[in-house]
Amino acid sequence: MFNQRRSIRLSVCQKSSELQEDLMDLVQFFTLSVCCWWTAAARSYYSDSPRLIVTDEIEDGQTVEVTCTLPIDYTGGDCRLYREDSSSPLRVMTTRTFLCVFHLTSTELLGRRPVGSRIYLKCDYHLQQYTSAFSDIKGVTVRGSSPSPRLSVSRRLLSPGDGVEVTCSPPLRYVSSCRFYRDSVIVSTGPCSRNLTGQQLAIWKKSTTLLPVNMTCRYDPHDHLDIRSEPSNHHMLFVVDVTQVSSSVSCSVSVDDDQLTGFTDGSWTFVGADGATVSVQVTNSSLKSDHTCSDSP
């Protein structure tokens, strides 16, 4: 009886050990299968999908560099570059490394599209009977420019609450909108003739007694094309804020010779609510516009 029980316990232990070995084999098989699946998937993904590298925009007349990167050493095959909507390659080259680098002029990139268009590109690679999947799609905008408009202003000195009529006159019959600038800052966008206040011209500037405003304009000839006009002629304006002084002050302003004709009177006086005044005297100078203010004697 004792030997029989011992034999049963040994049999159970042996079967338990065999079961554990089977489970270990199953786990190892599952792990190996998953690893193989991921490796195969990764190999399939990387070998099927090249990657496109290109700058986002260029100016008309420039050349753009387009790089098609290959995930394998694809010596002897063809890299093919396409516009997104075309089934025929724009360019084909035989690769010697992981990279295919194309150089396209703006004219070649645009094809029949007008300047200002955004052109979408993709690439693939081909060897004998094998053709890869397409790369990701990247867009390149070919920016253009139009002739300069003419800017005119109704006055040169104004207080923050005063208005000035500004007109941007493009050399075209129709434009979608105009933009008015203080130096490189846009102060207004919309109609090409409009009234702007001194406060609008001084936007994002610290309040000061005398603020010089170097004003220019541009226009947008098309809503759907990336074309910007060249900048207009510039006009120097001054925003005079009497609320910034507690007593009367005199300011001397010098402007470039080509701006002097706009300041016909040569001197102005602004009076605040409390009786304080700011007197402005304008003179010509070949130097960059400058100004100084000091208490009146």
Reading the chain (297 residues) residue by residue, the pLDDT tens digits are 444 444 444 444 454 555 455 545 544 544 444 444 444 443 333 446 899 999 999 999 999 999 999 877 667 789 999 998 888 999 999 988 888 999 999 999 999 999 999 999 999 988 888 888 999 999 999 999 999 999 999 999 999 999 999 999 999 888 889 999 999 999 999 999 999 999 999 999 988 889 999 999 999 888 788 888 999 999 999 999 998 888 888 888 888 777 877 777 678 888 887 888 888 888 876 555 567 787 766
217 and 200 together in one domain: yes
Domain boundary among 122, 144, 166: 144
Sign of CA dihedral 106, 109, 110, 116: negative
74 and 167 together in one domain: no
66 and 162 together in one domain: no
Q: Does the residue 118 lie in any domain?
A: yes
132 and 159 together in one domain: no
192 and 230 together in one domain: yes
Question: The domain containing residue 126 runs over which residues?
Answer: 48-144
At a CB cut-off of 8 Å and minimum separation 6, what does 196 contact? 163, 164, 166, 180, 187, 188
Tokens 């208490």: give the residue: 295
140 and 163 together in one domain: no
117 and 177 together in one domain: no
121 and 157 together in one domain: no
d(CA 263, CA 289): 13
Domain boundary among 129, 144, 159: 144
Q: Does the residue 180 lie in any domain?
A: yes
Q: Does the residue 8 lie in any domain?
A: no
Q: What is the pLDDT of residue 233?
A: 95
Q: Does the residue 172 lie in any domain?
A: yes
Domain harbouring 222, CATH code: 2.60.40.10
Contact 159, 270 (CB under 8 A): yes
Tokens 């095959």: give the residue: 77
Tally of CA atoms within 13 A in the half-sphere of 210 that contains its CB:
24
Q: Does the residue 237 lie in any domain?
A: yes
Q: Does the residue 129 lie in any domain?
A: yes
83 and 195 together in one domain: no
134 and 61 together in one domain: yes
pTM for this one?
Answer: 0.64
Q: Does the residue 92 lie in any domain?
A: yes
Looking at the structure of the chain, the number of domains it has is 2
